[in-house]
Amino acid sequence: MPALLGRLTHGRIEIVESGQRRCFGPADAGFQVTIVVHDRSFWRALARGSRGIAESYAAGNWDCDDLVTLVRIAAREAPRLDRLRAPLAPLRNALTRVPRNTRAAARRHVASHYDLGNDLFALFLDETMTYSCGVWDSPAATLRDAQEAKLDLACRKLELTADDHLLEIGTGWGSMALHAAERYGCRVTTATLSREQYEVARDRVRAAGLADRVEVLLSDYRDLRGKYSKLVSIEMIEAVGWQYFETFFSACSELLEPDGLMLLQAITIDDRAYEVEKGSRSFANEIIFPGGCLPSLEVLGHSINRATELRTLDVDDITAGYPPTLRRWREAWLRSEGSARQLGCDSRFIRLFEFYFAWSEGGFRERRIGTTQTLLAGPAYRRSRVNMRLESASSSAAGPREASFASASLPPGPST
């Protein structure tokens, strides 16, 4: 493994072990980090990829003075490794026993992460309990501001009114359903596979006095029935599994009225890395989100075109919002270590989640992974969207959004 480190070109890593120092990578690299090795098993962990590295960190076998920068170095080196792995990817993907998200397996996979305990997630999420990328319209915004801005942006893109019946696939803890029903007056049916989230979302709906407008279902997306004028799914498709992307979009198409709108917020991977990564056994899809798979934009487009008659109206890149979101989550998590221990979390679990947040932030900062909001329309949708544009001031404040909604502004949300 020192030979592999010796080929670094995008950063410099200093490794301190038993009082000895070894440096890898150019001395003048813009990214520089120091790793302190506490246990020799660190070197074996490197050979096991992201899972081995994460498990070794969780075990306390090494520390780093800047985990996010370390991940950024790895992300910049990744394309070179991808080119080496690519020729064998089809064979490996065919032979690797990747978990398939059947109905029963999907419930187990969702429960393994989202049913860890609502009190645990409350340690790092904002008051809305929103577990997805925020939209940061101002440097002074709070995490709650960013999450509410994201929810409202989704509602406005969907042109929600009190006459709509919105279907949400992937409830989370109910923030989108509550926001849409309370601020836009529409009916909402929202579905989740997580029993913990289901119970909390129902309680929050009742507490908000919205039980007459919001129905929470404990259901697989494949078992949903009916027709809805609008459909939204925020960072749920990552749990679908690559074998079921077309199944997911076919189900969405069947549930959406012919003239309806669908908004999909998805975490995506670089198109060029998709085939290499989809069948791999990684830290993310084995430890954090079992059975998960990040789609690429190309794969999303192909799946939609093959399985549905839906048309893409807009693809809005909101990746710039994830690094500050993840940084706030990681900072809150580390501040809450004492509370996490009271909930039964040991040092290994606490360090594992710290690594997860840093790993994700580094990936988004280097755009190895991204986040998009894709607006889709049913085949009978004919309304003009000339005035449906993102506010230019909002877009510039949030950073490079690469939004195709470019010049004028979205209609304002209803006053509250």
Residue 400 is predicted with a pLDDT of 36
375-389 residue pLDDT tens: 999 999 998 764 444
Name the residue type at position 399: G
pLDDT at position 393 over 60: no
* Structure confidence by residue, pLDDT tens digits, 35-82: 999 999 999 999 888 899 999 999 999 999 999 999 999 999 988 876
Which residue do the tokens 């487009």 mark? Answer: 301
Task: Give me the residues paired with residue 216 across strands.
Answer: 190
| 2-95 CATH | 3.30.1050
* pLDDT exceeds cutoff 60 at 390: no
Place of tokens 């120091």: 34
pTM (global) more than 0.85: yes
pLDDT of residue 278: 81
182 pLDDT band, cuts 50/70/90, is: very high
- Indicate the domain borders of the chain: 2-95, 103-397
Using a pLDDT cut of 90, give the percent of the chain over it: 74
Band of residue 91 on the pLDDT scale cut at 50, 70, 90:
low
Write down the pLDDT at residue 286.
81
Sign of CA dihedral 329, 332, 337, 340: negative
Q: Could you tell me the pLDDT band of residue 281, with boundaries at 50, 70 and 90?
A: confident
Architecture, CATH, for domain 103-397 = 3-Layer(aba) Sandwich (3.40)
Q: Please determine, for residue 25, whether its predicted confidence score (pLDDT) is greater than 70.
A: yes
Q: What is the mean pLDDT of residues 397-414?
A: 39
What confidence tens digit (pLDDT) does each residue in 346-360 have? Answer: 999 999 999 999 999
Give dist(CA 232, CA 413) in Å, integer: 17
| CA atoms within 13 Å, Cβ hemisphere of 33 | 20
Does 124 have pLDDT greater than 90?
A: yes
pLDDT of residue 111: 73
